[in-house]
Homo-oligomer: A and B are copies of this chain.
């Protein structure tokens, strides 16, 4: 099934050419650079990296989350995450509380300072996103989300959808 049943004119047959796909690949590459550029600049001042941003982001989104849960979202090893969390806890941006039910667990929450930095980072990233969305318009945004969702690994799509539908 190389070519699906195209009902219309014929230009739809072209949107899956290797050239067209290549352009999409390059668009992802260049856009992702822009996507991370603004928070990266802020993080530099703190001696933090993208890993710290991601941790702050998901802890804000799911307060009282456990280390294990975060590992699933971030897709890194616990040693890698631990280095980041240790720094954030030592610097007073994240609080790690022993789980009330299961004392093996650590429940993570942002402190005031952590929430403040997370807001700064988020706002920087949202700023660019907002501009892009406004330029492209609602229909384009819907398509954007649709394609991105289809590109995810199934596991990640589950995580994504859970976050999307749950905490709104």
Question: Which one of A16, A24, A160, A163 has the greatest number of beta carbons of chain B within 10 Å?
Answer: A24
The answer to whether A147 touches B160, judged by C-beta atoms less than 8 angstroms apart, is no
Which residues from B are CB-within-8-Å of A153? 33-34, 37
Complex Cα distance A13/B34, Å?
25
Complex Cα distance A163/B160, Å?
32
The answer to whether A15 touches B147, judged by C-beta atoms less than 8 angstroms apart, is no
Q: How many copies does the complex hold?
A: 2
Which residues from B are CB-within-8-Å of A151? 31, 34-35, 128-129, 132
Which residues from B are CB-within-8-Å of A18? 122, 126
Which residues from B are CB-within-8-Å of A156? 30, 33-34
**Which residues on A are within 8 Å of B, measured CB to CB?**
4, 11-12, 15-16, 18-19, 21-35, 37, 54, 57, 61, 75, 122, 125-126, 128-153, 156-157, 159-160, 163-164, 168
A sample of 30 inter-chain contacts (CB < 8 A) reads A16-B133, A18-B126, A21-B133, A23-B163, A23-B164, A24-B133, A24-B145, A25-B129, A27-B148, A28-B32, A29-B54, A30-B156, A30-B160, A31-B149, A32-B32, A34-B151, A34-B152, A35-B151, A135-B146, A135-B150, A136-B143, A136-B146, A136-B150, A140-B142, A140-B144, A140-B146, A141-B143, A144-B144, A144-B146, A144-B147
